Structure 1
Amino acid sequence: MYKVAVVGPARSVNRILTLAMEIEKELEFIPYVYMKTSEVEDFVKNPKVPVDFWLFSGYIPYKIALNVKGPQEAFVYIDSSELSIYKEIVNLSNKIGKLPERISIDIVTSIHLEEETVKLEKIMKKVFVKKFDVEIDAEELFNFHYELWLKGEIEGALTCYPTVYDRLKEVGVPAFWLSPTRNEIFHTTRMFFEKIKTSYYKDTQIGINLIEVIEYDAIKEKMKESYKLEYLELHLKKTLIQLCESLDGSLIEQGNGRYAIFSTRGAVEREIRTVKEKVNHLSLEADSSVAVGIGFGQTVLTAEVNANRAIRESKEIGQQEIIIIQEDGTIIDAAGKSEELIYAYRTDDEEFVKRLNEGNISVKTFKRIESLIRKMDWADFTTKDLAIHLKMSERNAQRIIAELCAVHLAVCIGEESHYSRGRPVKLYKLV
């Protein structure tokens, strides 16, 4: 059973748990309640109970967790829509006996509710907006609202912070807390649980790891004594058995320096760094490069087909890169490294394929370039950029871009001068 941490102030956590347990009976929920948002950092660094997924009550605790751990697929937050603003304006109207004309509101800088405050300014006489970063001191938010109230400039306040809401109420300010509606909580938690189930099915897919010592025949020829070869194979097998233990898998020797490890997708993805470390160790032991192809699939046949294709790609690249091909045909290039790229090698766009064929460029090559540009967030690029990051010669990169330009899939948008002798460098972008 997966464990899900529910993080937020007590009021939010209780609302979420009540709905979550109505929707999903097969998950275990662990409440992580905070008084101050600064506690979230410790929650994710040192969880009191190990959990598989994290559900945050709002953007603020979610963003704090991201700052600590970086992007995580296991992190999800419940978003607030414009409905939460208008719901609390209605509540404020009931509280003061009329539609408010002057209010104060605080919102996190990076969320979409900023647009709604602009609309409110057109409806009301005055809307005081405080945009803040998630690391702001709650005292600053309280002072923002309270000072406006003391000056008589507002009739009520809307805040994202429950502690600020409580303090404003204590000092007599008509205040309401901007929290997700019941429908928003229900919708997000239901979608999140579907994601968890999908993750479970992906985790249990078959994962086949094909590992091949390159030019094994040449290594055998160098070994003048058969015992030396047998010792080498024992050392290799010891490393592979250690890898099997990490992957909870089984090892099959296919002969001539080629091995297969049968495991699950979840184990492989969790231990991809271990795979990389053991492959480097095999390379040192054999004094040769090692190709690694990993295939995922719902069946052994599908996983094996993908693994064989992946190891061919690995051998073709020749950089001892781990190549993964997933069940949908998506390729993960240089898996486990900072240079990792994810792209598809198939497309059903006939016109696109026709243009690539005219330029003598494969779908895989184009998708690889596209994935790199997206990952690096380049507005433009040079052929040297491609050559460095895709580990190809600059001449080859120039040829590919020239052919893409010829079929109108790339375009030269300018030049870059380096204030030195030689021609300016051309800048390109994909069309």
Structure 2
Amino acid sequence: MKTKIAIIGSESFCRRAEEFTEHRPDISLELYPYEVPEQSPGLLKKLRPCDAILFSGSLPYMAAEGALKTIPVPAVYMKQDETEIAATLLSIALHRRIPLSGLSIDVRDKTVLENVLTASAPSEVWPAVHVLDEKYRLEDIVAFHADALKSGCARLAVTSVHAAYDRLVSSGLPAVKMINVKSSFLKAVDALCQEALYQKSETTKAAVGILQADSRLTDSGDIVNRLARLLHAHHFDNGDGALLYTTQGAIRAAVQLPEFQQTARSAEGMLAFGIGHTLTAAKENAESALGYMKVEHPDGLYLLDDKKNLRNLYKIGGDAIELRVTGTALTEIAEQTALSPAVLSKLTSFGQNQNTLQFTANDLADYLGVSRRTAERTIKKLLPFEYIRTIGEEMTYRQGRPRAVYELNFPVY
């Protein structure tokens, strides 16, 4: 089966992409050419079904980054590498016989350019360089090259931005585009195809949702029907709630819909999901997620995946809570303190994300989303084994007892 890749780039980049994949029967391209990189978000609105998206460079990708959040296929951009820069400089040396010191050049990563130049020429003959940052303006790129050319500092502009090339040439200024190298392009395409195949396998994994209703299911029938429709799920009454059989991809798509979030929040009871390689494994994981919600009483919609990572689906990109202890150190802590894997996972994330190593029971309570008393109980379980150490006290008010200041004393990375 062919992998369909949407190409978003300049007209010339799209043509080159077609040439490079001419003899690749496993790849099908959909071309979306632009005149300037800022047009890429608009092109995403015209996107037909595809397996992945490849941008010609970081500039159109960054312009479209916000719109990409709602598109459920992998998207990457062509990274400028040493091969492209070396090929471009070699072509100039052979065909135009202009020395490095006679060039002005813009690049996305100055380090990549320096890697090429360090091996070929002393620094005093390097070209004038403009680095393309995230907040680039086309006018600034054109102005950099135009100033270098008009002042005599450069005889030829070398640009990574096709729109800048068009502007310079139309102004009668000598310019060339950075060369797209076939091997670099195909390497990026092959990596993207692998990512697309992996994501497809992930989205088709079995998923089970459990809605445990506070009242009889007949009272929640409308909500169950709406959830099933939005999840493309089959649903069954299991006595005290409903089972929803679907896929991981359907859940990811549904969670982004305001209608789904509103329906899930209006359900009288708890809703949790599980992912697994089989429906049985997915159901067991959903039950584990539901059990966590009953004990911890968190606010949100939780999913436990096949790697035993628990996530709140309302907090996209948030830290996962691991419900499985792995590694000698954490296993030992769990056995000695009787703390659950979920609590240890949160403590590990707490240690990784704090701006300071020192903390109070209040700091820990805020991070864990629990009461201060619960945080203090957790600390007391860790203190006898010196997994937490008391390192001082702080007094923030004129009255009242000083608060103990602690520091974690176990591996968190």
- Give the TM-score band, short-chain normalised: 0.7 to 0.9
Q: Deviations over 1:178-210 (max 9, x none)?
A: 355322211111111111112222222211101
Within the candidate set 249, 260, 267, 1:266 is matched to: 249
Give the secondary structure class of the aligned counterpart of 1:76.
strand
- Equivalent residue letter for 2:16: R
Equivalence map 1:236-251=2 (5 Å): 236-251=220-235
Shift of the 118–292 alpha-carbon distance from structure 1 to 2, 3 Å rule, reads: farther
Listed as ranges, the gaps of 5+ residues in structure 1 are: 217-231, 284-289
Identify if the C-alpha distance between structure 1 residues 121 and 413 changes in structure 2 by more than 3 Å, giving closer, same or farther. Answer: farther
80-89 or 421-430, larger mean C-alpha shift = 421-430
Distance (Å, rounded) in 2 between the aligned partners of 1:21 and 1:344: 46
For the aligned residue pairs, the C-alpha RMSD in angstroms reads 3.6
Identity %: 18
Question: How far apart, CA to CA, are the structure 2 residues paired with 1:344 and 1:412?
Answer: 26
Q: In structure 1, what residue type is equivalent to 2:59?
A: I
Aligned to 2:237: 253
Q: Distance in 1 between the 2:15 and 2:392 partners? A: 57
Match of 2:298 in 1: 319
Equivalent position SS for 2:7: strand
Count, aligned residues? 403
Residue type at the aligned position of 1:314: M
SS in 2 for 1:341: coil
Alignment correspondent of 2:196: 196
Deviations 1:220-248, CA, capped at 9 Å, x for gaps: xxxxxxxxxxxx64331121012112212
Is 1:14 the counterpart of 2:15 in the alignment? yes
**1:226 equivalent in structure 2:** none
Question: How far is the alpha carbon of 1:34 from its aligned partner?
Answer: 0.4
Structure 1 distance, partners of 2:86, 2:391, is: 46
Using a 3 Å threshold, how does the CA distance of structure 1 residues 262 and 103 change in structure 2: closer, same or farther?
Answer: same
Is 1:58 the counterpart of 2:41? The answer is: no
Deviation at 1:151, TM superposition (A): 2.0
CA spacing shift, 1:170–1:279, aligned 2, 3 Å: closer
Which deviations, in whole Å up to 9, do the C-alpha atoms of 1:106-140 show, x marking residues without a partner? Answer: 234x7854764884885342432223444533233
> Is residue 83 from structure 1 mapped to residue 66 from structure 2 by the alignment?
no
In structure 2, C-alpha distance between the alignment counterparts of 1:95 and 1:42, rounded to whole Å: 38
- Equivalent position SS for 2:31: strand
CA distance in 2, matches of 1:23, 1:377: 49
Looking at structure 2, the residues matched to 61 and 416 of structure 1 have their Cα atoms a distance apart, in angstroms, of 50
Aligned position for 1:344: 322
> For 1:222-276, what per-residue CA distance to the aligned partner results, in whole angstroms no more than 9, with x for missing partners?
xxxxxxxxxx643311210121122121111111x22111112211221125554
CA distance in 2, matches of 1:143, 1:67: 28
Distance in 2, matches of 1:99 and 1:406, equals 70
Could you tell which deviates more after superposition, 149-158 or 191-200? 149-158
- Determine if contact 2:391/2:406 at 8 Å carries over to the other structure: yes
> Counterparts of 2:317 and 2:395 in 1: how far apart (Å)?
27
* Cα distance in structure 1, aligned partners of 2:176 and 2:394: 54
- Separation (CA, whole Å) in 2 of partners of 1:98 and 1:293: 65
Show structure 2 runs of 5+ residues with no match: none
C-alpha distance 351-243 of structure 1, shift in aligned 2 (>3 A)? closer
